Structure formats: C-alpha cells, structure tokens
Amino acid sequence: MNVLDTRFHLVGIGGIGVSAVARLLHARGAYVQGSDVRESQITLALRALGVSVQIGHDASMLDTADVVVRSTAIPETNLEIVAAHARDMPVVHRSEVLGALIDTRSSVGVIGTHGKGTVSGAVTWLLDAAGHEPGYIIGGLLENFGDNARDGKTWLVAEIDESDGSLVNTRPQIAILNNLELDHLNYYDSWDKLEAAVIRFFVDNPRLQKCVINADDPGARAIAAKLREKGLGDRIVTFGFASEDADYRGIDLQTSRMSAQFTVHGADGVLGCTSISLPGSYNASNVLGAMAACHVVGVPFDVIAAAAPAYRGLENRFTLVDADGVEVVKDYISHPTGIRRVLGAAREQARGDVVAVFKPYRFTMIHYLQDDYAEAFAEADRVVVTELYTAGEVPIPGVDTDLLCRRIGERCDQVNYVHDLDAIPPFLDETVEPGSTVLFFGGDDLFAVADGYVRARRARA
C-alpha cells in the first residue's frame, strides 16, 4: 500500500484506534478524511491537524477518496460501507493500514488481554529517553505526550488489538505478549481459537526477531511452549517476578502509594534497581516487560532505570484525583482479571472503604465470566452496578444485571443496582464515607459521571 499516492476515508475516525491511524497517515503526507457520528475531543484534535472530519455519515464523501478504512466496530450496514461496496471501492480493515505503517519501520508490537496500552506507552517512553524519538500508535492518550499517536523518526511502537483476530495483519519485529486469557467472547468462543490466532501472529510474521513473553502468566507460558515446538525458541525472551528462570526477573518488589520499587536481574546478573510512579504489582509487571523489550534492542539499563519513574501511564488507567476527601479512580478495564488487579492496588493504598462502580459490558462477558466477576469484586467493600452496555449483542436468556449482582453478592455483602447513570452521584453522596476510594470501571459515559461527581464534591467544599 503506497500511502502517499492514496486518498483515505476513515469511517469512525473519532475512535481511539482509527484516529491513531489517521494521525500517522496524515503525518506521512497522505490525504486523510473521515466521518463519525459525534464531535469529540479526538475529532476536534484531528481537525486542528488539518484532517477533514464530517459529523454524520454521507456517501458523497467517498467522491474524494480511493480507499475506505473501517474498524470491526463499523457494521456492514453503515451507509458509507454500503456505498463503497456499490462503487467497488477497496474497503480495508484498520489493522491492514496499521500493518503497512509498521512494515516501514523498526517496530515493537504489544498484544495481550490486559495492559497493552500501558506496556506500549512504557516502551515508547523508554525509547524516547534513549534518544530514539519513536513513533507510536496506541489505544489511549499517553499522559507523557498528550496524544495517542505520532510518526516519530526511528522505531514505531504499536498497541495491537487481538479482540477480532486482526492482529495477524501486523508484522512487528519485536513482539511483546504481556498476558493472555479468554476474552472478547463474541469473537473467540474457545481458548483454541484464541491460541491459534496468537500463534499465527508470531509464526506467520517474516519480520519477527524477538518474542518478549510474560513468564508469570499461564496463558502466555502456554503460547511460549507452542512457539518452542514450532522452532521459535531461540527468539523467545521472558520476563517476570515469580518465575525464577525468567530472562529478565524482577525481585524485591515493594509497592507503596502510587508507586513501586524493584530490582531487575538479567542473564549476567543484577542490572540495577528502579522505580515506577504507577500503583500495584500489575503495573510493575507491565513496565518490566517494556524494560525487557527495550534492553533487548540495545537501550542501556541505566537509561531505562533513570527514565522509568517519570513514566505516567495512560489517561483513564488508574487515573486518581481527590474529591474533597474521597479519592476517585477511573479505569477502562471491564475484564474481571483486570478489575481484580486494579481493586487490589486500590486496597493496598486506600485510607478507608473501597467502593467499585461498574458498568457491565456485553451479555457474553456476564454469561461466561460471572464466577470471575464474583471473585474480582470480593476486594471491594461496596459494589454499585449500573446499566449494561450490550454492544449490540443479542440477549442471552437469564443473563442480565440482576444475575451479575447476585453473583457479586456471593462475595461482597453490599451490592446495589443503580440503573440511571445520573442517579449514581446522589447514591454515592448518601453511602460513601470521607476517606473512601471510589473506582469507576467503564467507558466515557461513566467517566463523565465520575467527573461530575468530583466537580460537585469540590464545589460543595
């Protein structure tokens, strides 16, 4: 795909992943335009760069395009997609364009069920500290850089989505597998299907040089074993805290309020001590994986150790603010394992009760992972469940928020269902004591509620 000679129309250009592709295409000198259903911070930022963005879908926009780009979230019934097919215009997935962009650079790609964005951001930050001025394309806003994509000069770091199988369209030279468990059950109906897609991502990549794999994670270890069977053992580099045989092993981990400290051992002994300014052991593991990848490509460990404490992560990944004596945390995670890790980190530093506000995602997630949700929310003193985001799924009989509340209630004594988002702040005002930590797990609409709750508490103060 010749980027400079192609005019791109991106459907859903305001999405965090599609907008990142738009930014890189524009930076490379391509003509870029797109459409979305609503104005947002992202669409306004793209306009400021000079990208043509239309609010509302309109088939006439295709008159000035050669290729239509879409994500899996855009249905075949979208009028611009229908019009493109009627004109025999090429319609390509976002991952295919990402793959073409990755092919032009030295590259690091990050996959995994949890923490992809945090790891990708940490790799970017550490490479930048070493003077490489890397490009990046990440599904979240990097706190250190203020955006989700830039072209850069040498390396390109990419968060690669495995949710729909499209990861096989990308070919990074350094591939990081942070962790892996069954997720996105609307697409993967079994572990075997997920495993096959991930194995193909590694094995069918002709550019692959190193596989950096989390030795502490059972799913990632299973993938590593399969890759060794297929003759890729010499390309595998492992990291972890619990695994004594990891190539990069973290030891003496000490977590404290919004930070962690640990020592890193490499193949030749102690590499050095470092710290991070992110909470919880799970973030220490995320950053250790980034450190391993950067050291593999030649970044000196003293540079890595010095830069790590200044890495601030991604927006809305354990984003903490004080609201007149109540600490409020926003986190996008919706998978029970991720929720358990975030609640565990909150519990370690909480001064009072830990309250979780959760907007569930998909009937399939509740149906297949209801036991895991019950376990995850056991860390909370109170759980507030609100309306389910179905993502267009067909309802499953008997699977709803009532079932979820009952299952969570098996491990947490105080579970409340508050259907209307606007009713959540008044409910919290009545039930949350000063000194508590309130965590919001969901998406932008729930985060808007969290922001309003913070503003209201501060205004009353």
Return the half-sphere exposure (C-beta side, CA atoms, 13 A cut-off) of residue 144. Answer: 22
| Helical spans, DSSP H, in 28-93 | 41-49, 79-86
Residue 158 and residue 296 share a domain: yes
Residue 323 and residue 300 share a domain: no
| Lowest mean per-residue pLDDT among 181-185, 290-294, 312-316 | 181-185
> Domain range spanning residue 245?
105-310
At 21, which CATH number?
3.40.50.720
Residue 118 and residue 34 share a domain: no
Residue 331 lies in a domain: yes
Residue 259 and residue 204 share a domain: yes
User: Are the C-beta atoms of residues 439 and 357 closer than 8 Å to each other?
Assistant: yes
- The string of pLDDT tens digits covering residues 92-103 is 999 999 999 999
CA dihedral 207, 313, 18, 205 (to 10 degrees): 10
Residue 234 and residue 343 share a domain: no
- The string of pLDDT tens digits covering residues 183-209 is 777 677 899 999 999 999 999 999 999
Residue ranges of E strands in 220-282: 236-240, 248-256, 259-266, 269-276
Residue 442 and residue 336 share a domain: yes
- From CA 245, how far away is CA 301, in angstroms rounded? 20
Residue 109 and residue 181 share a domain: yes
Residue 433 and residue 355 share a domain: yes
- Specify the DSSP element, H or E, that contains 406: helix 401-409
Judged against a pLDDT cut of 70, whether residue 293 lies above it is answered with yes
Residue 297 and residue 219 share a domain: yes
Judged against a pLDDT cut of 90, whether residue 451 lies above it is answered with yes
Query: pLDDT band at 1, cuts 50/70/90?
Result: low
- For 315, the 3-state DSSP assignment is coil
Find the helix packing angle between 363-376 and 401-409, rounded to 10°.
Answer: 20
Residue 98 lies in a domain: no
Residue 133 and residue 280 share a domain: yes
- Residue where one domain finishes, among candidates 310, 341, 370: 310
Judged against a pLDDT cut of 90, whether residue 424 lies above it is answered with yes
Residue with tokens 């079932």: 403
User: Are the C-beta atoms of residues 384 and 453 closer than 8 Å to each other?
Assistant: no
Per-residue pLDDT, 284: 98
Higher-scoring residue by pLDDT: 187, 345: 345
- From CA 125, how far away is CA 456, in angstroms rounded? 35
Q: How far is CA 75 from the centre of its chain?
A: 22
Pull the structure tokens for residue 210. Answer: 């190193």
Q: Kindly tell me the burial class for residue 164, based on how many C-beta atoms sit within 10 Å of its own C-beta (0-12, 13-18, 19 or more).
A: middle
At 156, which CATH number?
3.40.1190.10
Residue 145 lies in a domain: yes
Per-residue pLDDT, 212: 98
Residue 2 lies in a domain: no
Strands of the 354-358 sheet, one edge to the other: 319-323, 326-331, 437-441, 354-358, 382-385, 415-417
Per-residue pLDDT, 391: 81
- From CA 271, how far away is CA 253, in angstroms rounded? 15
Pull the structure tokens for residue 398. Answer: 């008997």
Residue 1 lies in a domain: no
| DSSP class of 314 | B
Greatest CA separation for the chain: 64
Per-residue pLDDT, 366: 94
The type of residue at 377 is: F
Q: Helix, strand, coil proportions of the chain in percent (round to 5)?
A: 40, 25, 35
Residue 99 lies in a domain: no
- The string of pLDDT tens digits covering residues 64-80 is 999 999 998 899 999 99
| DSSP class of 146 | S
Residue 296 lies in a domain: yes
Total number of domains in the chain: 3
- From CA 378, how far away is CA 240, in angstroms rounded? 26
- From CA 439, how far away is CA 184, in angstroms rounded? 23
Residues 6+ apart with CB under 8 A from 335: 113, 114, 181, 183, 365, 369
Residue 351 lies in a domain: yes
- The string of pLDDT tens digits covering residues 21-62 is 999 999 999 999 999 999 998 999 999 999 999 999 999 999
As a whole number of Å, the CA-based R_g of the chain is: 22
User: Are the C-beta atoms of residues 131 and 161 closer than 8 Å to each other?
Assistant: no
- Residue where one domain finishes, among candidates 93, 125, 142: 93
Give the strand pairing for 437-441 and 326-331.
parallel
- For 199, the 3-state DSSP assignment is helix
- The string of pLDDT tens digits covering residues 242-267 is 999 999 999 999 999 999 999 999 98
Residue 323 and residue 306 share a domain: no
Per-residue pLDDT, 21: 95
- The string of pLDDT tens digits covering residues 124-140 is 999 999 999 999 999 99
Residue 185 and residue 115 share a domain: yes
Higher-scoring residue by pLDDT: 392, 205: 205
- Residue where one domain finishes, among candidates 310, 341, 365: 310
- From CA 42, how far away is CA 171, in angstroms rounded? 27
At 347, which CATH number?
3.90.190.20
